[in-house]
Amino acid sequence: MTELILNREHYTRLIAEEVPQAKVFLWIATADLKDLHVSRGKRFVPFLAVLADLVGQGVYVRLMHAREPGPRFREDFDKYPDLLHPELFERILCPRLHTKAVIIDGRLAYLGSANLTGAGIGAKNDHRRNWEAGILTDDPKLVEPLMEELDTLWRGEHCPSCQRREVCPDPIA
């Protein structure tokens, strides 16, 4: 299966339907990271609650982003102690990261334009969101090389030749 997802489908198909089904691991790469909220019953909660629930179920979560998130995200982050367990939740910051990708259990991948923000991928009103396009696939010919690329970044293999170390707030390697 390889499908095009557009606009609000980033929320309905990827964030609401697929991400909560992660059983082993969830990797997220985004350039921008903001205080994304998602629907949970009759109310909206920070997306961090979804990540904390996954971690509480033993799912390993990697979050890669390009810059420090805003104060609302940081304030919400502190409300989820499950995200303070480095054996199941890890986060890196790489100022050169511009990839927007999600890998779920090595079986499903998203690659597209949407950042992990309310306007990019959230449950916002259709008139208050970005126009986004992406591919959701379970094709191993696409999933595996994307996983390898994200893992290469995670291991810091690009760091020695990056030429941005002087502005990198927290070098990976």
Query: Within 13 A of 58's CA, how many CA atoms are on the CB side?
Result: 2
pLDDT of residue 75: 87
DSSP, res 128: G
Check the CA dihedral 10-112-75-64 and report its sign. Answer: positive
Instruction: Decide: 50 and 19 in contact? Cβ < 8 Å.
Output: yes
Residues 6+ apart with CB under 8 A from 126: 7, 8
DSSP, res 9: H
Sorted by where each begins, the domain ranges of the chain are: 2-167
* Rounded mean pLDDT for each run of 10 residues along the chain, 173 residues in total: 94 94 97 86 90 96 90 88 89 90 98 87 76 96 97 88 79 74
Q: Which fold has domain 2-167?
A: Endonuclease; Chain A (3.30.870)
pLDDT of residue 30: 93
CA distance 74 to 96: 21
pLDDT of residue 1: 94
pLDDT of residue 139: 98
pLDDT of residue 6: 94
pLDDT of residue 2: 96
